[in-house]
Amino acid sequence: MKLLLMMLKNVRRNLIRTILTAIGTMILVLVITGIWSVLEFLDNATSEKSQNIKGIVTERWQIPSQMPMSYARPLEDYSWQGPDNLMTWQFYGGTTDPAKRTFDSVFFAIALEPRKIHTMMDELDTLPPAEKQNLVDIAEKMTLKREGVVVGPGRLKLLKKQVGDRFKVTSFNYRGIDLEFEIVGTFPEGRYDLSAAMNRDYLNDAMDAWTKKAGKPHPMARKTLNLVWFKFPDATVFNDAADKIMNGPDFKEVPVKLETASSGIANFLEAYRDLLWGMRWLLCPAILVTLSMVVANAISISVRERRQELAVMKVLGFVPRQILILVLGEALLLGIFCGGISSSGAYYLVNKVFGGIPFPIAFFGAFKISTHALWWGPAIGATTAFLGSVVPAWSARTVKVSEVFSKVA
């Protein structure tokens, strides 16, 4: 207890140095927390699971996958426990300003069955009850009002629209299928921040209407189904379905494949392999080393300034081990406290205030700070503080009383 009080007093002794070191620690921990959160999310998204597997059916050879919508019905036969565990995705893209197409005016929506939004979509299927109920209500509105669309808050901001607004989209992938939408709700902040979802019936009916009017099928008619999501309880059921689908007689027009969602995401992220490697193995270690150096610098200066004091302490009966603990403790106290403040602050600010870290990579737009960050921060602070202070603390431990006092004399 006595040592702890001394540590606290020593930390407060040179406030400028303590504040500088603390701010340095907090900022560097913040960056590490952000980077690790992104990497952890991507690791989770790409690691194969043995249970509760999500699978994706796509065109076997080509990117982007474009299958006939007629595949949706036979695929239901391979869905575990019926069609509720299957979700079709069709991509509808366009612009609200055909004269000047910019990033802000681009509108991109996933056409699906509205009732699947809160049961099948990643992260939305595990929302807390209150947020989930909101999506249930939105899905009902989209079912009743087929032009209804749910939009992410980020995209809504870019479009300069709000719930209740109507707008027209000139499509660039379904030429001639220009649709008018009404915004009936928003996605929670985070993963779907820049996305939107629409009722698939609205798109498919518009395609049919185009065909009737033109007297011939739309050029995209046999290419409207982009991917199909499945939920499987375990790898055995998944493998069985994959085998049947890939060799099924119903899918000859365009060959298809079923792969796990994690495998599909890993393929997309492969192009970013070196970038992610650099973040993991160059950037993070460099920041950690820099942080250790900042701590080492501050503690070294502190020990150097207090050599006489440390000698006096030895004279008063403090043993070297206590002095070592005292100096290490000061650094650890600062590191753990600042690391904790930084990571918990980042968790709150990024997740609750800013709605995620905007780092567009593959098809992920923004990343939330991981809940693990709540212990990462103190751990990073403690580790770097220990590494940075162990040498100066050892040097404090070995201060020779006779040498110090001979210089004073």
Partner 1 sequence: MFPMHLLLAAATAAPPLTLADKIVAGVIISICGILMIAVLARVPLIYNIRNLFVRWPITLLTGSAFTLVVGLLVVMLGFVNGMYRLTENSGNKENIIILGQGTQDEVFSSLGFAAVDDIENLPGVMRDDQNRPVVSKETYVIVNQPITNPQPGRPKRRFLQLRGIEVPDLSGLVHRVELQGEWFSTAGVRPDPSGDASKPNLVESVIGQGIARTLAGDVGKESLTIGDQFVVGDRRCVVVGLMLSRGKTFDSEIWAKRDLVGKSFGKETYTTMVLRATTGKEAKRLEDFLKNDYSKGSIDPMLETKYFANLNGTNQQFLYAIMVVAAVMAVGGVFGVTNTMFAAIAQRTKDIGVMRLIGFGRLQILGSFMLESLFIALAGGALGCLLGSFADGWTANSVVGSGQGGGKSVVLELTVDWKIIAQCMLFSLVMGFIGGLMPAVSAMRLKLLDTLR
Which residues make up the interface to partner 1 (CB under 8 A)? 16-17, 20-21, 23-24, 27-28, 30-31, 58-64, 103, 106, 108, 172-173, 175, 219, 254, 259, 263, 266-267, 269-275, 278, 282-283, 286-287, 289-291, 293-294, 296-298, 300-301, 304-305, 359-360, 363
**Residue number, 249 or 360, with CB nearest to partner 1:** 360
User: Which residue's CB is nearer to partner 1, number 68 or number 320?
Assistant: 68
Calpha distance 153→161 (Å, rounded):
10
When the beta carbons of 199 and 302 are compared against partner 1, the nearer one is: 302
Q: What is 189-200 written as a DSSP string?
A: SSTTTT-EEEEH
Query: What separation in angstroms does the CA of 98 have from each of 102, 170, 218?
Result: 9, 6, 21
Q: Is 147 exposed, middle or buried (0-12, 13-18, 19+ CB in 10 A)?
A: middle
Q: How far is the CB of 24 from partner 1 (least distance, A)?
A: 4
Query: Cβ 3 to partner 1, closest distance in Å?
Result: 24
Residue 274 CB, nearest approach to partner 1 (Å) = 4
Residue with smaller CB distance to partner 1, 175 or 400:
175
Task: Indicate the residue among 93 and 233 with the shorter CB distance to partner 1.
Answer: 93
- Rounded to a whole number of angstroms, the minimum distance from the CB of residue 409 to partner 1 is 18
CB of 123 to partner 1, least distance (A): 20
What are 297's two structure tokens? 């610098």
91 vs 202, which CB is nearer to partner 1?
91
Residues with Cβ within 8 Å of 32's Cβ and at least 6 positions away in sequence, in order, are 284, 287, 288, 376, 380
> Rounded to the nearest whole angstrom, what is the least distance from the CB of residue 84 to partner 1 in the complex?
28
CA distance 306 to 372: 38
Minimum distance, C-beta of residue 35 to partner 1, in the bound complex (Å): 8
Half-sphere exposure of 407 (CA within 13 A, CB side): 8
Q: Which is nearer to partner 1, 319 or 391 (CB)?
A: 391
Residue 382 DSSP SS3? helix
Contacts of 335 (CB under 8 A, 6+ apart): 25, 295, 378, 380, 381, 382, 383, 384, 385, 386
Name the nearest CA neighbour of 192 among 97, 112, 274: 112
The secondary structure of residue 163, as a DSSP letter, is T
